[in-house]
Amino acid sequence: MNRTDISRVWLTPAEIWIETTDGRKACERFSDYSRFQSSSLKQRENYKLSHFGIHWPEIDEDLSFDGFFK
């Protein structure tokens, strides 16, 4: 899965969600990752989409789009 398959990315206080162009939705819980547990909301909101996933430069964390569906 790559960036062209993703139609939307959004945050809740506890999770990050993605939606694919074919309508599938998936999330990852921040509580499952130690770097997110100690990060601020501002740091969580500062993400960049790459070709294959999401990168948070301030906390040096990456999640792949494929990983959301495993």
Q: Look at the chain and report how many structural domains it folds into.
A: 1
Residue 16: give the domain boundaries: 3-69
**Rounded Cα distance, 54 and 70, in Å:** 16
**Residue with token string 């996933």:** 53
Overall pTM surpassing 0.85 (yes/no): yes
Tell whether the model's pLDDT for residue 57 goes beyond 90. yes
Query: Vertex 3, ends 9 and 11: CA angle to 5°?
Result: 10
pLDDT per residue over 7-56, tens digit each? 999 999 999 999 999 999 999 999 999 999 999 999 999 999 999 999 99
CATH number of the domain at 18, please.
3.30.2020.40
